[in-house]
Structure 1
């Protein structure tokens, strides 16, 4: 602590000395005409004298130049040059209003050429930018991806509704096919390209700006940008000195506290920035309590000659949250509500144990990421940028295993009248007490009692339907010996990578980039026991090394948020499965760009080689060659090109095209968790073509574009789970999709106080042609093959028509009201491809359209002797009119379908009244959230 104090005092001393020898101070406030722009960069032209604005938009520069020009830049706004003259030691420039460039991330803000951001009227891609102030204001209790919901072709939902369980879809492609980048670092999982937003719940606290590039985007890397790329630029350590303390609360006991501080750039070139926040709540959905923390550490150093800039960042978000992960039928929501007012908060995964919330489905994880960015200005025409990073993950998701006399924990026998699980009854049975099963929530019938095995209550994966099950207890154990446990499917991984890019200006108009992208990933996957729920010991007989006797295990492991993300699990007792995966990636990329006053054109190419290895000494003996496979290497890559032409300061057009050969995911290389390579491996082929028009003026900015994307040889499979083949799966070949659409985005500054923004997107996303379905057993042996008639079937899981209209108005100085309306139509359910074996199928189920209205209020109060600090108040009200709506459906059951396919005389769902808002009540759906609110207060100093 003493060292830290000395360092801070030294820094303050340097600042005071520099002030004494300067000509004076330049001060001012940067705004967008409505409010301050925190983090804007202000530089004295031709010098290294610079500053960043605080949360109030104010800046101060100690300048050695008596007169000159300031260059002001901010993400999403046009750079502005301001003349200044210092008189009597000061130059107060007052309010400086920047003009929005809605699609620009400034080169000055983003220093590294590793971070591929699109530039307005230059980069020929469709793009939208969200700035930090908008995230801070409007996110509230929403999930991080939801801040993008008012951008074209984006569909973001909360999915089951647990903390961080949200998902995003762009142009009809799910987030496994959307590249997510943080400061130039790819974060999609290297095994399956997944992004779990609960792992990144703290991003909203540390994001300086976020840019969504729809389509193949401008990234030079060979990444999974089929639907688009989300570029996230986090806070840097060289922002203006100062800090903030804040808190917010909302419905369902939501509470968040946050504190941050930055030193600013010291005289010696060092800078530091730290942030910590804590969030907790009961969850809007029943039984979804959560708690999470977020930390950010940024350290920076810039040499005096400005040639070298180093930025070290580390951020993480350890969290735990109870989930609603079991899909629920509409009829069940109605059962625990009413036919006209279903209980949309109902969760079938939870109950109480000893009076406390208990959920069979809990997720906990900690995935810190650490990176070092180095930018080296070699000379006026050559720049080298590099990032080296590491990410470590530790956590799991819990679930139930075992049963009681063949009844699972989700059985009606353990349901209370309100639909929650009677965990006290399960616990009582597990400890040997007699219980009665529930009928309609009431205990009825004969008492049942558990049997001990060798003097102990032994839990296992056996449901207790029969004695001496193959997965149960050996030696003729009775069925009544089985119990129910909560187990964890654990994921651990270590991930290291680096990107290096050389940017060379060959001539006045021509720039060449070349670079390398390397990554290595090790993942470990296994199950272990979390809670025996009163049992004494757990029996597992899945490990081939201990068969036929099996093992009796007594250790249980916590499901709390793990702060230690570097733990070693070698000595952890593993059940069910245990396998490791290794994925290596090496890629090279290059780009040539031509740019003059009116024309920008580029062509780029990337190639990558992925190598996949599976290690499994759990289902294979170590003497079996399949216990450790050799690396399966697959080559992929892309080529892209495009051009933008500015007719004048108002009008521009652009076009781009690209082709991507995309490697399959790990589970496609080694299907069904076995170590046999898929003999039908194919790269997915993606072709994208796009064109657009832009208009800019002082009053309105507008972008209109059209896209055409084909996706061929899509790798797709899912578990069978049917009787007779419970551990089998379906594999699909020849699934092709075509996604086309138009997008319009506009924003207008009607007056200095009134701003209006809007968007409209219409997509036509369909499957193309026929496909083939092959059913396999658990040993990857083909059982049957059938043709699937998917041509012209709508792609589900996202609204194909979206629209938004919003406005904000400064009613008084620093008092702003804003509102936004979002509309969704042409929303189709997810499809089960196996249901399309008939040519006369009904296609995809269309869900009801819906619209949501959000509103907010902001007030900034200036405080302090010089009014240079502020207290900020914000109130958000989402879904103001408490609209009930279906956000997604897992199933594809039509109202006109028979309720019993084998007995049509029973009628259809529609004829028997089993529909809700026109949708058959047998469908498994997620409802969206009703009305929610949040209120926040933040002190900036």
Structure 2
């Protein structure tokens, strides 16, 4: 992997208001504490903090929202590349930032971690049409500020769901597009009842044939919210979730097949008794995920505010595979004699299940003063996962029964973190930013692939920086940040992986006026023991990684927003990067 990569994204054209534009909702600038924003303010940044970020508001998301996943709606942002297994932006999608894959992008919803605790992945397929319930989001590139969940090694994305609506409404929406993609949803809100209570919700259904062969999706989701608010208090209960059934399309193809049959999907392929190539019809991924969140936001006075949340996530489902000529030993089958010949292999259909719970709490306490801002926060979260496999059909296995389990293992992970941050005005032009986080992680597993795992990690992640205001339109900033993170579940298949460490240096310039905004920055991300792809795949087609010694990412990002009259904005951007492994051990 000792190669030089150059990635360029040019002239991202959009009709949206700039992410760096000054708005009345910039809570730290205006010193006004907005109750809905308290849920995410502890992990967000603004133009006075020396970190690289982009904001997207609902008014910018809505015109692009035709049922595709959140990563697809962000594909015009600097240094962002989005992926879609089915090729239509529906189903399994992902995001890469600065060349780092989705497992390195920390994602939170209302301040609560969304990344899977074991794989670190973000499975947007489990939350179809979630953009329709998103109030705003912020993408921080690089390490970013301290947040909850796994460390950000390429970026962090925090999402705020719909705010309390003062007015009642009911909406029906449908959209139809390529590959028989159809999205239907209904949304409603009671508006504020007696000036204090609001109930709102959404139901969605999305179907698509996909661009890739047989990469069909059947997706359903819901979002329900009940809130009480007065002048200083917001109590909000949020329920959301989804059910996805998608034909598997994550295996990929080689360059030769890509050139001759670019939509070919090898999933479910087998040869029948007549020697003809067939595809198993039920080679699907079938998974349900439900989330429950309870938030209490409080403005104690003009300076102090707090946020406390409890959460619970329930997930369960499987993916089904037709396997041709698999060894008996993998499934604990005994050899059989057929026509006097010993047989040790069989065609079969298996299901690999995941049944998991994730629950915990996050909290923050913030002070907003005239010359400084201070926040302390953290969280404690527990994950429990049951992994097991079932054989639901076998051609040659008389000693087996339907739904025999051929493996079972349990895993448990705890994640505690606490952080403190301040942004202090040294004088009228210069501000100092400081951020310290301690994170303790323990992980236990006993899978056949992982072996016995009982690891504990303690990470200290400091961050600091300066912002210098040249005048009302121009700001310069510099920051240094440390991030460390534990290996994921698949990494243990390659032995005893080491945790990764990242030192991130950011230097940037922001220019802001009502009609034109520019943000330019250079970064140097120095890695130690980075886990990189080896080119190997495991039994289900997932890529494997191994530690390398020293590696880095060096890049330049420029984004701009030019207002063209009352109706149009032009948003070009460019991203250049060089990413290299200096040694491989």
Specify whether residues 631 and 694 from structure 1 end up closer, same or farther in structure 2 by C-alpha distance, changes over 3 A only.
same
- Within the candidate set 364, 371, 388, 2:286 is matched to 364
Give the one of 453, 474, 493 matched to 2:335: 474
Shift of 1:198: 1.0
Question: Which residue of structure 2 lines up, in the alignment, with residue 234 of structure 1?
Answer: 161
Q: Which residue of 2 aligns with 1:706?
A: 522
2:51 counterpart residue number: 125
Aligned residue in 1 for 2:444: 613
Is structure 2 residue 352 aligned with structure 1 residue 489?
A: yes
> SS of 2:193's equivalent?
coil
Maintained 8 Å contact 2:112/2:148: no
Partner of 2:200: 273
C-alpha separation in 1, matches of 2:92 and 2:192: 38
- Match of residue 262 from structure 1: 189
CA distance in 2, matches of 1:692, 1:253: 44
Listed one character per residue, the Cα deviations across residues 904-925 of structure 1 (whole Å, up to 9, x for unaligned) are: xxxxxxxxxxxxxxxxxxxxxx
| Separation in structure 2 between the aligned mates of residue 218 and residue 106 of structure 1, nearest angstrom | 21
- Alignment map for 1:742-761 (pairs within 5 Å): 742-761=556-575
Q: TM-score, normalised on structure 2?
A: 0.86
Which residue of 1 is the match for residue 4 of structure 2? Answer: none
Q: For 1:603, what is the secondary structure of its paired residue?
A: strand
Q: 2:105 aligned to 178, 184, 205, which one? A: 178
How well do the aligned residues superpose, as a CA RMSD in angstroms? Answer: 3.7
Match of 2:257 in 1: 332
CA deviation after TM superposition for structure 1 residue 210, in Å: 2.0
Equivalent residue number for residue 150 of structure 1: 76
Q: CA distance change for structure 1 residues 712 and 124 in 2, over 3 Å: closer, same or farther? A: same
Partner of 1:771: 584
Q: Give the C-alpha shift of residue 181 in structure 1.
A: 1.2
Post-superposition shift, 1:598? 4.2
Distance in 2 of aligned mates of 1:553 and 1:287? 30
Q: Higher RCO, 1 or 2 (CA under 8 Å, sep at least 6)?
A: 2
Q: Which moved more, 1:123-132 or 1:582-591?
A: 123-132
Map 1:627-666 onto structure 2 (within 5 A). Answer: 631-666=454-489
Note if contact 2:376-2:421 (Cα within 8 Å) is conserved in structure 1.
yes
- C-alpha deviations, 1:442-493, integer Å up to 9, x for none? xxxxxxxxxxxxxxxxxxx438xxxx99965435453679642221111111
2:423 is equivalent to residue 593 of structure 1? yes
Q: Are the aligned partners of 1:105 and 1:119 in contact in 2 as well (CA < 8 Å)?
A: no
Q: Give the deviation of 1:307 after TM superposition.
A: 2.7
Q: Could you tell me whether the CA contact under 8 Å between 2:33 and 2:299 is conserved in 1? A: no
SS in 2 for 1:318: strand
**Counterpart mapping for 1:561-572 below 5 A:** none
Q: What SS class does the counterpart of residue 367 from structure 1 fall into? A: strand
Q: Which residue of 1 aligns with 2:5?
A: none
Please list every run of 5 or more consecutive structure 1 residues that lacks an aligned counterpart in the other structure: 1-33, 38-73, 81-97, 335-341, 404-460, 540-550, 556-572, 621-625, 673-677, 773-941
The answer to whether the 8 Å contact 1:281/1:289 transfers is yes
Instruction: Spell out, residue by residue over 1:120-159, the C-alpha distance to the aligned partner (whole angstroms, 9 max, x if none).
Output: 4312211112222333322436443122121111111224
Q: Distance in 2 between matches of 1:651 and 1:710?
A: 28
Per the alignment, do residues 105 and 633 of structure 1 end up closer, same or farther by CA in structure 2, a change over 3 Å counting?
farther
Deviation of the 1:614 alpha carbon? 2.0
Relative to structure 1, the CA distance from residue 508 to residue 698 in structure 2 (aligned partners, 3 Å threshold; closer, same or farther) is closer
In 1, the alpha carbon distance for the partners of 2:533 and 2:569 equals 47
Alignment correspondent of 1:134: 60
Determine which of 239, 256, 266 is the counterpart of 1:348: 266
- Per-residue CA deviation, residues 545-603 of structure 1 (Å, 9 max, x unaligned), is xxxxxx52124xxxxxxxxxxxxxxxxx422x211100011121111221476443320
The residue aligned with 1:683 is 499
Q: Does 1:214 align with 2:141?
A: yes
Taking a change above 3 Å as real, the CA distance of residues 481 and 508 of structure 1, as seen in their structure-2 partners, is closer
Report the CA distance between 1:164 and its aligned residue: 2.2
Structure 2 equivalent of residue 820 of structure 1: none
Say if 1:726 and 1:320 are closer, same or farther in 2 by CA, change over 3 A: closer
Give the whole-Å Cα distance in 2 for the aligned partners of 1:177 and 1:36: 27
Q: Give the structure with the higher percent strand.
A: 2
Aligned counterparts of 2:121 and 2:147: Cα–Cα separation in 1: 21
CA positional deviation for 1:281: 2.3
Match of 1:602 in 2: 433
1:211-243 deviation line (CA, Å, top 9, x unaligned): 211011123447421111111111134453212
- 1:392 aligned counterpart, secondary structure: strand
Where in structure 2 are the equivalents of 1:294-333 lying within 5 Å? 294-303=221-230, 306-333=231-258
Of 285, 306, 309, 1:387 maps to 309
| Cα shift readout 1:625-672 (whole Å, capped 9, x = no counterpart) | x9xx6843211131111222222221111111111232223444x546
Which residue of the other structure, out of 716, 739, 745, is the alignment partner of 2:553? 739
Pick one of 364, 372, 384 that aligns with 1:510: 372
Asked whether the equivalents of residues 16 and 568 of structure 2 are also in contact (C-alpha less than 8 Å), the reply is: no
Aligned residues of 1:364 and 1:396 also touching (Cα < 8 A): yes
Aligned 8 A contact 2:350 2:393 in 1:
yes
Q: Secondary structure of 1:317's match? A: strand
Find out whether 1:250 has 2:180 as its counterpart.
Answer: no
Partner of 1:187: 114
Per-residue CA deviation, residues 57-91 of structure 1 (Å, 9 max, x unaligned), is xxxxxxxxxxxxxxxxx9976456xxxxxxxxxxx
Counterparts of 2:249 and 2:52 in 1: how far apart (Å)? 35
**Tell me, which stretches of 5 or more residues in structure 2 are unaligned?**
1-13, 273-277
Q: 2:508 aligns with which of 688, 692, 695?
A: 692
Secondary structure of the corresponding residue to residue 204 of structure 1: helix
Aligned residue for 2:60, secondary structure, equals helix
Q: Could you tell me how far 1:698 is from its partner in structure 2? A: 2.5
Query: Offset of 1:762 from its aligned partner?
Result: 0.7
Task: Measure, in 2, the Cα distance between the counterparts of 1:259 and 1:695.
Answer: 40
Cα deviation code 1:726-767 (max 9, x no counterpart): 99x988443332111111111111222332111011111111
| Aligned residues of 1:607 and 1:635 also touching (Cα < 8 A) | yes
Residues 691, 490 of structure 1: alpha-carbon distance in 2 compared, 3 angstrom cutoff? same
Question: What CA distance in whole angstroms lies between the structure 2 residues aligned with 1:382 and 1:218?
Answer: 20
Deviation at 1:694? 1.1
Taking a change above 3 Å as real, the CA distance of residues 279 and 530 of structure 1, as seen in their structure-2 partners, is farther
* Cα shift readout 1:748-788 (whole Å, capped 9, x = no counterpart): 112223321110111111111x222xxxxxxxxxxxxxxxx
Residues 523 and 555 of structure 2 are in contact (CA less than 8 Å); yes or no, is this contact kept in structure 1? yes
Larger Rg computed on CA atoms: 1
In structure 2, the partner of 1:522 is 384
Q: Which residue of 2 aligns with 1:794?
A: none
Q: Is the 8 A contact 2:35 2:233 kept in 1?
A: no
**Paired residue total:** 560
Aligned pairs (5 A) from 1:915-926: none
Q: Distance in 1 between matches of 2:573 and 2:285?
A: 36
